[in-house]
Amino acid sequence: MNSTALFIPEAKIGRDLSPQPAAEPERGLTLRRFAMAKKRASVYDPSNKPKDYLPAHNHILHTPKFTNGENGFRRFWIPPEWVGKGWSKCPCGWVDRIRPEEWKVHYATTGSVKYWDEEIAAHGSLKAFHREILRRLKDEGEALP
């Protein structure tokens, strides 16, 4: 079965999320590119996370039972200076099962947060919106978490 992630609508988050063509690879890795790649990897690997970075996740619709990587959902860490500059506190209710205390407060793009706020209000509660997400996944033929 092919996985079809449920995305927050592009118009709601204000950026193009369509797949981009792969760039032509350059020959060799410069030290600068290697350092950047290493820093990027640290935002996904909890053992390499910079101490001041904050927990965040991507724009895939999810419920509290989703694990990292499930149906395209990803959690990672962002630099603290990003908060208020395109990233806001997320109301989705997701908490990492391994480090729940670290994830009680986490961030998502401001557009994603606005979408969550609107959907929670439209459905009457966060739990009701989670039920709607599960219904959509079931309609798509996805295995439910």
* Residue 92, domain member (yes or no): yes
Token duo for residue 43: 């935002």
* Residue 89, domain member (yes or no): yes
Contacts of 41 (CB under 8 A, 6+ apart): 48
Pairing state between β 54-57 and 75-78: antiparallel
For every one of its 145 residues, what pLDDT tens digit does the chain have, with 9 covering 90 and above?
445 567 666 655 555 444 444 454 454 555 555 455 555 544 556 667 788 999 999 999 999 989 888 888 999 989 999 999 999 999 999 988 888 888 899 999 999 999 999 999 999 999 999 999 999 989 988 777 7
Domain count, the chain: 1
pLDDT (0 to 100) of residue 12: 59
* Residue 3, domain member (yes or no): no
* Residue 65, domain member (yes or no): yes
Range of 117's domain?
Answer: 49-145
* Residue 28, domain member (yes or no): no
* Residue 32, domain member (yes or no): no
* Residue 134, domain member (yes or no): yes
* Gap between the terminal Cα atoms of the chain: 15
* Residue 23, domain member (yes or no): no
Total-model pTM: 0.70
